[in-house]
Structure 1
Amino acid sequence: MIQSEPVTPPHLTALTALPIRALTPEDLRYCADLSEDRGWPREDHKWGLLLAAGSGYGVDAPDGRGLAAVCIVTRYGHTHAGTELAAIGMVLVAARYARRGLGRRLMTHLCDDVLKGVPLTLHATPYGRPLYEELGFVTCGRAEMLRGPFRPDPAVHTGGSGRVRPATAEDLPRIVHLDTEVFGSERTHMITRLPAFADRLVVMEDAAGELTGYAALWPNMDTHVVGPLIARDTTDAKALVTALAAGTDRPLRTDVDVRHEELLGWLKDRGLESVAFNAVMIRNIPGLPGDWTRRWAPLTVAAG
């Protein structure tokens, strides 16, 4: 008896032929649904920022149930080398459409059409890294995600080597200036949203009143995320984190460049635990711009 091959539904065989469209703020709920579908937190607050400051791309599910796939592109101004920079994040495919080439189709469209020739960066999970390598991305670093309740360190004073205080509206131009210098690319459209997005925004000044660092604390489900975190040295980074943590009872979450070993060790001593490692990857650029020694944690890995 000859057993016939199972018939694949037509709407699945044509999956990679489905059109890719630009997302709008009205798609926020569907993006959050897709996060939940893949076992991630919904992260509505973060999705709102990414859709407002970046450009979302997605594929509508052929069964009419929201989105089949989605990703976010955040474009930044020119780097010191005179080139653009764009970050790709939140690349998600609905579980019922996984492993059918949809993620590759979306990424190929972005890399070869929408962002052709543009220097790119992204944070890759171990699961996604092989695809990105096939698309020409190379690893240039790693970030460690930490999460947990923060226990204050009696040895750390929020004065640090300078003075930590809440940011004011007058500080915003100086924050943007410092951020551009350290990040290596202008991202005013993202940083100017921090006062409304974050629950706390603090700055550090030296004895002469020069702004040497800043940090934000923003809500994400049952945690508070520390990021961005920009500081002159480890002592100042500790002081900024301590100042932020004093204003919340939630567990902290952050992603720290693994080269900052002292800060990572201190955070673990303070109660945070390692959750995961992500590869920092780049394409069409020899390395990330800016000063990594003063860049401790990103606003969110989804935005580079």
Structure 2
Amino acid sequence: MPAVETSAVVYRPFTAADIPAAHALSVEVKWPHRADDWRFVLDAGGGFIAQDGERVVGTALCWKHGDDGGSLGMVIVAPDSQGKGIGRRLMELLLEALGSRITVLHATPAGEPLYTKLGFRRIGAVNQHQSADFCVPSIDLRRGERIRAIEPHDTPTLVVLASRASGFDRSAVLPALLKVAQGVLIERDGQTLGFALIREFGRGHAIGPVVAITGDDEHIRHAQALIAHLLAGNEDRFTRIDTPDESGLSEWLAAAGLPRVDTVIKMARNGTPPQDASVAQFAIINQGLG
């Protein structure tokens, strides 16, 4: 895709060579992402850079989830370059790349008016919880239930569950995530009831996604048991989890010493991801991939 020039600013595809500049830009706006976090999200998708002379002044990434779904994020404009239409142009380039896909993003209140003008509407919210000073909750397992480490042969089952829970095709992103994450699943008599992943991110670690089957009304306990298991292996380490507001986990997380530090608005364009009531997502991968 050729570069596009608007006055002094050139817009071009994001490449791996741009990661150091993108990381520096995220540090400038006080985002926690490491260079490795940028590398993972770029490998999973693609995007654009806004460049003013030799300086990168804007970034934006998007991800295609199968033929019908998409998401976008990592939209940053340097503080001294804001108000010049750079963010809007980067968004327009992403939307052109995603086409008619159902597209989701997570917006700050300040960003919501722009996204509304671009055809997005509010469909929910996500609460960000984090701390290094947490207590591991005690969650009892029922007879026949056990939590074990995820093994390679579990991947197809986890892809199906993650896809049903998110409404997006996870056949590409989940195997990529499993290469950089560790995880556990909960099962009863050999049936997988849910799973959760943890990976290095930012100041420490991030938990997500967390998914549980809802059929027997035990899904909240299963999600809590999975999260508690991962927290137990991460005591005294900074841990973050982004949970959908409708999951009902925020109060429980706060009581465990993981306070809510932020809330972002979930918005969608071209419809909403299909909902499967038999599976619930209790934590997202991140605010870009959903």
Which consecutive unaligned segments of at least 5 residues does structure 1 have? Answer: 1-13, 79-83
Query: Structure 1 residue 74 and structure 2 residue 44: aligned?
Result: no
Partner residue, 2:282: 296
Partner residue, 1:53: 44
Specify the SS of the correspondent of 1:122.
Answer: strand
Change (3 A) 1:161 1:185: farther
CA distance in 2, matches of 1:179, 1:194: 12
Matches within 5 A, 1:137-152: 137-148=120-131, 149-152=133-136
Matches within 5 A, 1:171-250: 171-198=154-181, 200-207=182-189, 209-232=190-213, 233-248=219-234, 249-250=236-237
* Higher relative strand content: 2
Q: Deviations over 1:98-148 (max 9, x none)?
A: 11110011112222x322322211000112111101111100001111111
Return the match for 2:106 from 107, 110, 123.
123
Specify the SS of the correspondent of 1:28.
Answer: helix
Give the TM-score of the pair, scaled to structure 2.
0.89
Give the structure with higher Rg (CA): 1
Return the match for 2:10 from 13, 19, 32.
19
Q: Is the 8 A contact 2:61 2:94 kept in 1?
A: no
Q: Deviations over 1:40-77 (max 9, x none)?
A: 12432321111001112111232x13x11111101001
Specify the SS of the correspondent of 2:10.
Answer: coil
CA distance in 1, matches of 2:204, 2:51: 31
Q: Is the 8 A contact 2:37 2:202 kept in 1?
A: no
Specify the SS of the correspondent of 1:107.
Answer: helix
CA distance in 2, matches of 1:22, 1:290: 33
CA distance in 2, matches of 1:195, 1:143: 23
- Following superposition, the deviation at residue 34 of structure 1 comes to 1.1
Which consecutive unaligned segments of at least 5 residues does structure 2 have? Answer: 214-218
Change (3 A) 1:161 1:303: farther
- Following superposition, the deviation at residue 161 of structure 1 comes to 7.6
CA RMSD of aligned residues (A): 1.9
Q: Is the 8 A contact 1:231 1:295 kept in 2?
A: yes
Change (3 A) 1:189 1:151: same
Runs of 4+ in structure 1 deviating by more than 6 angstroms, as ranges, are none
CA distance in 2, matches of 1:41, 1:177: 30
Q: Is the 8 A contact 2:63 2:71 kept in 1?
A: yes
Q: Is the 8 A contact 1:147 1:273 kept in 2?
A: yes
CA distance in 2, matches of 1:89, 1:275: 19
Which deviates more from structure 2 when the two are superposed, residues 30-39 or residues 176-185? 176-185
CA distance in 1, matches of 2:144, 2:254: 22
Letter in 1 for 2:274: P
Aligned identity (percent) is 30
CA distance in 2, matches of 1:74, 1:87: 5
CA distance in 1, matches of 2:200, 2:141: 22
Query: Structure 1 residue 93 and structure 2 residue 77: aligned?
Result: yes
CA distance in 1, matches of 2:130, 2:143: 23
CA distance in 2, matches of 1:105, 1:160: 56
Which deviates more from structure 2 when the two are superposed, residues 44-53 or residues 132-141? 44-53
Specify the SS of the correspondent of 1:20.
Answer: strand
CA distance in 1, matches of 2:143, 2:150: 17
Specify the SS of the correspondent of 2:125.
Answer: strand
Partner residue, 2:255: 269
Q: Is the 8 A contact 1:16 1:102 kept in 2?
A: no
CA distance in 1, matches of 2:205, 2:33: 15
- Following superposition, the deviation at residue 158 of structure 1 comes to 5.8
Q: Is the 8 A contact 1:146 1:253 kept in 2?
A: yes
